[in-house]
């Protein structure tokens, strides 16, 4: 239970950071197949599914609520060591994924093509994401609520796909800073018992949250179908996403504070990330 909550927290943290994929973190920790199966078979295997899903979602929720400010601070003032830690987490996942394609030919054209396609997708997303959209101002009306529902569906779908950053997609849509601000406002409203502010936050976060849940279930069905038809090719696509992710993160990193000391700290945080991946990963 504790390990599952910690794994959920890693996924939650990854979903806060633009350029870092929550889906990749699931793969890194050996959760991905089991999580997709639990989501798509929740009706027929309710008890077993909830046993896995509840601690994962609790951990992810805790990370997003508790650590969003911390990672805002770390990315603003210590971007290089922070991003190297995530690169370590992602790179540390590769041994687990390579086990999935053991015995297959990596040079086979049917394996090379999905690898290259999804490698390029991640790099392009990083390049496109360099021009951050202006934060969207939300006016509470029926059209805006429908938009929030749609944004939630898109964000969740991309959060579940390994190598694709849901938070980067929110950034491209112009909702990243807005949603993060409303999460922090909700925490402030709860701690100060400000009911009016809490209601305002819920009116934004509830439709967004409903969209997130819908998006997760919709994309999970699609991913399960893909794995049932082209499992090895799907894993090579994931390997392409994972290999590209550290490159994408480093492309997005602010290198203004680079120094020899920062490099040494970054090597340490990279190794720490790799160590955490090795402990939380696997079956």
Helix (H) or strand (E) holding 28: helix 22-28
Q: What was the pLDDT predicted at 133?
A: 41
Q: What was the pLDDT predicted at 131?
A: 45
Name the pTM for this structure.
0.67
How does pLDDT run along the chain (283 residues), one tens digit per residue?
777 888 888 888 877 776 566 777 787 677 777 888 888 888 888 888 888 889 888 888 888 887 777 876 887 789 899 889 888 877 887 887 788 788 888 888 989 999 999 889 878 877 765 444 444 556 667 788 888 888 888 878 777 776 566 776 776 666 777 787 888 888 889 888 889 889 888 888 899 999 988 888 888 888 888 888 888 998 898 888 778 878 887 887 889 889 999 999 999 999 998 887 777 665 5
Q: Are 242 and 97 in contact (CB under 8 A)?
A: yes
Q: How many CB atoms sit inside 10 A of residue 128's CB?
A: 11
SS (H, E, C) 71-127: HHHHHHHCHHHHHHHHHHHHHCCHHHHHHHCCCCCCCCHHHHHHHHHHHHHHHHHHH
Q: What was the pLDDT predicted at 262?
A: 95
Distance CA 139, CA 60 (A): 28
Distance CA 281, CA 82 (A): 20
Q: What was the pLDDT predicted at 261?
A: 95
Could you give the number of structural domains in the chain? 1
Full domain range(s) for residue 214: 2-280
176-192 helix and 166-173 helix, angle to the nearest 10 degrees: 100
Q: What was the pLDDT predicted at 269?
A: 95
Tokens 């929550």 locate to 22
């Amino acid at each position: 239970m504790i390990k599952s909550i910690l794994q959920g927290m890693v996924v939650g943290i990854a979903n806060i950071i633009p350029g870092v994929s929550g889906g990749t973190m699931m793969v890194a920790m050996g959760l991905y197949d089991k999580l997709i199966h639990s989501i798509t078979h929740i009706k027929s295997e309710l008890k077993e599914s909830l046993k896995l899903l509840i601690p994962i979602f609790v951990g992810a929720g805790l990370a997003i609520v508790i650590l969003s400010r911390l990672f805002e601070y770390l990315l603003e003032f210590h971007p290089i060591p922070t991003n190297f830690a995530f690169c370590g987490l992602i790179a540390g996942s590769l041994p687990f994924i390579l086990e999935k394609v053991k015995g297959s030919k990596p040079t086979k054209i049917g394996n090379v093509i999905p690898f290259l396609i999804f490698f390029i997708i991640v790099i392009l997303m990083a390049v496109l994401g360099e021009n951050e959209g202006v934060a969207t101002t939300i006016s509470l009306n029926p059209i805006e609520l429908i938009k929030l529902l749609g944004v939630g569906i898109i964000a969740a779908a991309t959060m579940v796909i390994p190598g694709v950053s849901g938070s980067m997609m929110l950034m491209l849509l112009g909702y990243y800073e807005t949603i993060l601000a409303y999460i922090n406002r909700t925490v402030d409203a709860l701690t100060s018992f400000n009911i009016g502010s809490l209601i305002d936050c819920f009116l934004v976060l509830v439709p967004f949250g409903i969209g997130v849940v819908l998006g997760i279930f919709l994309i999970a069905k699609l991913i399960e179908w893909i794995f049932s038809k082209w499992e090895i090719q799907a894993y090579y696509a994931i390997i392409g996403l994972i290999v590209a992710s550290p490159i994408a993160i480093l492309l997005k990193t602010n290198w203004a504070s680079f120094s020899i000391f920062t490099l040494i700290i970054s090597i340490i945080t990279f190794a720490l990330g790799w160590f955490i991946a090795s402990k939380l990963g696997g079956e």
